[in-house]
Amino acid sequence: MPDPHPLVSDARAQLAGLLERIDPAVFRELRVGDRGERPAAVLVLFSEAKAQPSAPAELCVLLQVRAATLRQHAGQVSFPGGRVEPGDEDAAQTALREAAEETGLDPSGVDVLATLPPVPLAVSNHLVTPVIGWWEHPIVLSAIDPAETTLVWQVPVSQLLDPASRFTAVRERRGSRYSGPAFDVEGVVVWGFTAILLDRLFDALGWTRRWDATRERLIDR
């Protein structure tokens, strides 16, 4: 089976072309009615970057780890992003502003390729708009405020798509049971909203490789 995301010189153009043909129906079943959710946005930032200094450049996506002391989604992997604030013109401005505040990213270096349909985040009562960006000249970023973010890193898309990295996360708490797609990135577990969004995005782009959804792991946080 050929690599669904080959490293080529026009990776940006290929990604933009795929996003133009994306089927919004992939995200439709995640939508909910108006329940007073607070608007927010996240930046799903792709680039041809080096996951490690000695590694060759490859297609990566920017992720971060939230501080374990936060009230919501503590210790979880997330995209840069946050709540819409007064003065934000659109979801893209929100996502870029939050990414700059959290990681030091220079928004002027990001090309916004697409804005996807809002997705509900029921746990914190937000309606989150994913903004897809391309970072032409990636550099190493670090967490600006350790009280909010403890790690910022470029994750190879090939690693996320590897069937061996994928499993179903299960969390049982107070009589309720959650199960959903998850990824293991060198021991760092990506689950919850971020994993759901990556899973649906990869499906929509036609990148997903068949993986064993019956392989379950218990999440204890």
Domain residue spans in the chain? 11-157
DSSP state of 86: T
82 in Cβ contact with 64 (< 8 Å)? no
164 in Cβ contact with 212 (< 8 Å)? no
Report the pLDDT value the prediction gives residue 7, as an integer from 0 to 100.
Answer: 47
Domain 11-157 architecture: Alpha-Beta Complex (3.90)
Report the pLDDT value the prediction gives residue 90, as an integer from 0 to 100.
Answer: 95
d(Cα 118, Cα 128) in Å, to the nearest integer?
5
For strand 58-66 and strand 38-49, is the pairing parallel, antiparallel, or unpaired? antiparallel
For strand 166-173 and strand 216-218, is the pairing parallel, antiparallel, or unpaired? parallel
Question: At 30, phi and psi to the nearest 5?
Answer: -85, -10
Report the pLDDT value the prediction gives residue 169, as an integer from 0 to 100.
Answer: 95
Rounded to the nearest angstrom, the gap between the alpha carbon of residue 133 and the centroid of all alpha carbons in its chain is 11
- Please give the average pLDDT of every successive group of 10 residues along the chain, which has 221 residues: 52 90 77 72 92 81 76 73 92 96 95 91 81 94 82 92 96 83 94 93 92 93 64
d(Cα 135, Cα 125) in Å, to the nearest integer?
30
- β-pair partners for 133: 45, 112
d(Cα 187, Cα 209) in Å, to the nearest integer?
20
Which of 92, 96, 117 has its CA nearest to residue 105? 96
pTM: predicted TM-score of the whole model, two decimal places: 0.89
Report the pLDDT value the prediction gives residue 2, as an integer from 0 to 100.
Answer: 42
Question: At 108, phi and psi to the nearest 5?
Answer: -70, -15
Report the pLDDT value the prediction gives residue 1, as an integer from 0 to 100.
Answer: 38
Numbers of helices and strands, H then E, in the chain: 5, 12
Locate 170 and state its tokens. Answer: 């299960």
d(Cα 103, Cα 97) in Å, to the nearest integer?
10
Helix (H) or strand (E) run with residue 110 in it: strand 110-115
Name the 3-class secondary structure at 201. Answer: helix
Name the 3-class secondary structure at 94. Answer: helix
